[in-house]
Structure 1
Amino acid sequence: MGVLGSIRVAAMTVFTVGGLSGAMYGFLDRQGKRARTLIGRPTRDPHLADGVYGAPGPAPLRFAVLGDSVAAGLGAESTDMLPGVLLARGLAEESGRPVELTTYAIVGANTRTLIAQVDKAILNPPDLVLLIIGGNDVTGKMRVRTSAALLRIEVARLRNAGAQVVVGTCPDLGTIRPIPQPLRYIVRKWGQMLARAQRAAVERAGGVPVPIADLVSPEFHIRHYELFSPDRFHPNGAGYRHAADILLAPLCAAVKSGLHRVATQCS
């Protein structure tokens, strides 16, 4: 069906609750098809630049990135602009120790398929995890309650493996201009509901939620011509840098929290 086809079905599902007329159904169907044509489909995988960043030193901080195409960096022009790379370098500079980056994020992933990424990650548990997920749950019309429950399980698995976990919740899909109104309004509201549920689920599992829609997305509304890649759906390098600038602080705080916990246990 494709991403925008799923958005169209999701929108129809929302409207059906209140009664969707045949005319509105047809209108949303045409909007979804038009948006899918404008956005297109990914023609290549994102860059991959796993490795150790920062000056040589003590045992590196093991940093893993999990999630969907945004976590993977689809749309970045080069490896230097991948969110994982930007954050690994930032963490190395702030912590004064090398950072070993491993990317498990996959284009098209949703919270239901996240389990496979977590399975791989906990084989060699990272010290720190950044997880960005949710957009494909909305476009794939997954129930908010189901999505949040699944996220809680996977965050808990990572925490039980010893990782500090920072989760970027569902972004504001209202920033995506190729999705016309009123379809854009519908997916935006759906994403807001999911982000709230994700925040509660992550906190209950012992992770740290970061509200992407509140902290990152507003700049994409204002500077959409500067921060989106040519598909106008995924960020470009500048967009990822903007997101990384905001995500770095909670990641650094999570590292310090983990070190404090270890020190307390050893004392």
Structure 2
Amino acid sequence: MGAAAYGLLLTEVQIARKVIGQPFGSAGPGGEGRYGDFPGEPVQLVMLGDSTSVGLGADHGHQTPGAVISAGLAQIARRPVEMRMFGRVGGQSWELEEQTVRALGEGARPDVVVIMVGANDVTHRVKPQVAVRALEASVRRLRDAGVQVVVGTCPDLGTIQEIPRPLRYIAQRLSRQLAAAQTIATVEAGGATVSLADLLAGEFRNHRVDMFASDRFHPSPTGYARVADVILPSVAAALGYLPGERDRVPDYRRGEGIDDIAHAAVRAVDTAGTEVSGIEVSGAERGPRGRWAAFRRRRAPRTGDGSVVAATGEASQNP
């Protein structure tokens, strides 16, 4: 049943793509460059992963998730942010190794890497353990190099209405399972994850015209801005630009908490925008059921004057 479901899912996706076409070609709209008109050395941010990491479906480079995150981060840090992208349209998790080598070997060492990957692993029948092992290896290599890592987990493919039921349910189940496995692997390797699955499932299903690009597969500029909204606080916290947020004790009143990593991963998949990262409990990283993890809902970042950072912005220098 599993193999047959994978085969049917891939076939349906291919049929849908042929009907819709590929209006964006095989490359994203660009967007690499410096964001934020501030003094000082720029924060180095790198995007890795698949077509979502390079913003396929956006009209302009400054609308890609990397550009939106960079513009927001510059406002928070009051420093410029230099953003580079090594992701690839159609990319799968096994390609992260090469992308990671480039991120560490080409140009300045990154301060933070954002990884967005997983959908193509589902649709191309990549074994989950293979995809997750590749992700974990890249996260671990980056963390060993002193780089902060934030992973936007696999989106919910059940939002693609061109895939008929019941295959859409299968796509949803497989993508959510991969997202949970990505969370476990990333936290074990020292990174943090932000759940995108439920976010895309709810908002993208209810606002398809606004959230999806014309190919009905990739996010629109509005959709990417929403994705960037939930990733930005975790990026800023990882770099220490949100005082008190990086190691804040989870607030149970806000639906946050501490659990073993497996249960925290499941909770994150069920609640959009949830960050999961490692934590110590009574001085120990692990409990009777494995690695301890905190799941948090990061607050919207604010600038120095107290205003909420908007998910917009253009590069001050975009070579």
- Which amino acid in the other structure matches residue 27 of structure 2? D
Question: 2:218 matched to 1:234?
Answer: yes
Per-residue displacement from partner, 1:168-198 (whole Å, max 9, x unpaired)?
0100001111111122111111111111100
1:97 maps to: 79
Secondary structure of 1:70's counterpart equals coil
From 236, 255, 260, the equivalent of 1:252 is 236
Question: 2:65 matched to 1:72?
Answer: no
Structure 1: give runs of 5+ residues left out of the alignment: 1-10, 17-24, 262-267
Secondary structure of 2:67's counterpart equals helix
2:211–2:221 CA contact under 8 A, matched in 1 = yes
- Which amino acid in the other structure matches residue 79 of structure 1? G
Partner Cα separation in structure 1 for residue 84 and residue 221 of structure 2: 19
In the alignment of these two chains, the number of paired residues is 242
2:153–2:196 CA contact under 8 A, matched in 1 = yes
1:149 maps to: 133
From 148, 166, 169, the equivalent of 1:164 is 148
2:236–2:242 CA contact under 8 A, matched in 1 = no
CA distance 1:72–1:32, shift in 2 (3 Å): closer
Which deviates more, 40-49 or 52-61?
40-49
From 94, 98, 121, the equivalent of 1:116 is 98
Shift of 1:109: 0.7
Per-residue displacement from partner, 1:184-213 (whole Å, max 9, x unpaired)?
111111111111100000000000011110
Which deviates more, 47-56 or 68-77?
47-56
Partner Cα separation in structure 2 for residue 161 and residue 69 of structure 1: 25
Partner Cα separation in structure 2 for residue 61 and residue 29 of structure 1: 39
1:12–1:28 CA contact under 8 A, matched in 2 = no
Partner Cα separation in structure 1 for residue 189 and residue 10 of structure 2: 38
Shift of 1:56: 3.1
Partner Cα separation in structure 2 for residue 77 and residue 221 of structure 1: 21
From 63, 67, 84, the equivalent of 2:66 is 84
From 218, 226, 242, the equivalent of 2:202 is 218
Q: Which runs of 4+ in 1 moved over 3 A?
A: 27-34, 257-261
Which deviates more, 129-138 or 49-58?
49-58
CA distance 1:13–1:53, shift in 2 (3 Å): same
Structure (1/2) with the larger helix percentage? 1
Question: 2:21 matched to 1:37?
Answer: no
2:192 maps to: 208
Partner Cα separation in structure 2 for residue 63 and residue 31 of structure 1: 36
1:125–1:162 CA contact under 8 A, matched in 2 = no
| TM-score, structure 2 as length reference | 0.71
Question: 2:148 matched to 1:136?
Answer: no
Partner Cα separation in structure 2 for residue 247 and residue 235 of structure 1: 15
CA distance 1:159–1:31, shift in 2 (3 Å): closer
Shift of 1:44: 4.6
Partner Cα separation in structure 2 for residue 240 and residue 172 of structure 1: 15
- Which amino acid in the other structure matches residue 74 of structure 2? A
Q: Percent identity?
A: 39
CA distance 1:29–1:43, shift in 2 (3 Å): closer
1:51–1:100 CA contact under 8 A, matched in 2 = yes
1:243 maps to: 227
CA RMSD of aligned residues (A): 2.4
1:38–1:178 CA contact under 8 A, matched in 2 = no
CA distance 1:15–1:31, shift in 2 (3 Å): closer
